[in-house]
Amino acid sequence: MNAPHPAAMQRQQLYRDMDPLNLTPLWEVLHALVPPQPASPCVAALWKYEQVRPFLMRAGDAITAEEAVRRVLILENPALRGQSCITQSLYAGLQLILPGEVAPSHRHTQSALRFIVEGSGAYTAVDGERATMAPGDFIITPSWTWHDHGNEADGPVVWLDGLDIPMLRFFDAGFAENGTARSQTVSRPEGASFARYGHNMAPLRHDAPFGATSPIFSYPYARSREALEQLERDAPIDSWDGVKLRYLNPLTGGAPMPTMATYMQKLPAGFSGKPWRQTDGAVYSVVEGTGVVHIVQGETVQRFDFGPRDHFVIPSWHTARFESAPGCVLFSYSDRPVHQALGIHREERLS
């Protein structure tokens, strides 16, 4: 048996001697810290709504909305269990509110989106203005705005919560405050925000009521779908995305939230797309129709067959490709605005 090389022994002694001073050698970890390409610890995953929904309803029997503050089942990435995140920077969960319930008012520095999955007639109130929910609607809770939810309809309402919780946790910038009232006072009529900012016009003298977040906090699905259908009829179909639109902050033309971008896309009937990959991980909610997404990462090849109300995640730098025989509509969100602000966003559209 050969004796250890003197240089190796010298290095190991160096490591032991400097360890009490909380020092570690970069050369031992450099390739992991600065890899040749993104190496996300996240994995692609699919949540079938037909499997998830029974647990949501059981949660409705087990705890009230007021007791829970927010009755949500977190969609945890299988490779990041216990960390309450679907990617390393994004959070996703399905929230249930039953008839007659109110999820009490609070506010937090985290930005939040609500994408309505099931049921109509519930509402979100943001800083004194309510927005009634319908399936496919995209609703924003801007950072540090008071918000509560209520259900005045006859059936349960479920929506997807998307937040930047892990991102703010990374920056140690998370704050929250509970309201003193069960529901906030309504001070503006429903639709007031859209009337002021939603017609490609803005008041002559105005400020940005929610800072860097869109002044429109409710984007109804009916308008989104109408735009997708018109483009499908009149414009070329993109070979990777089908017909895909991004939601806008009308004051800036940028993403509706500073940390999260949101999209709606329609894959036409018979669509067989080309593969792509991007550095921003993305979370998808299936609005209508059925389809297939093929996801490849290294030697791992996955196929997810999805249908209405299913959810799936495509992590950073995973190659993905869509197919849909009957056609489908997909909502998605990602952390792309942060990548773009830092100048680190990369995307490849493969052939």
pLDDT digits (tens, 9 = 90+) for 7-20: 899 999 999 999 99
Question: What is the predicted pLDDT for the residue at 3?
Answer: 66
Residue 185: pLDDT band by 50, 70, 90 thresholds?
confident
**Average pLDDT of span 119-146:** 95
Kindly indicate the confidence band of residue 247, based on its pLDDT and cuts at 50, 70 and 90: very high
Q: What percent of the chain has pLDDT over 90?
A: 92
Query: pTM above 0.85?
Result: yes
Q: Read off the pLDDT band of 6 (50, 70, 90).
A: confident
pLDDT of residue 1: 62
pLDDT in tens, 201-220: 888 887 898 999 999 999 99
Q: What is the pLDDT of residue 97?
A: 97
Q: Which of 198, 331, 341 is nearest to 279 (CA)?
A: 341
Token pair for residue 184?
């906030």
* Contact by Cβ (8 Å): 293, 304: yes
* CA separation, residue 247 to residues 76, 176, 223, 254, 257 (Å): 25, 27, 11, 8, 10
- Of the given ranges (79-83, 106-110, 180-184, 250-254), which has the lowest mean pLDDT? 180-184
**In the predicted model, what is the mean pLDDT of the chain?**
95
Question: Which has more confidence, 311 or 178?
Answer: 311
Domains of the chain: 38-349 (2.60.120.10)
pLDDT at 180 over 90: no
Residue 34 confidence (pLDDT): 94
What average pLDDT does this structure show over 226-240? Answer: 97
* Spatial strand order in the sheet of 122-126: 129-132, 122-126, 147-151, 102-108, 176-178
**pLDDT above 90 (res 249):** yes
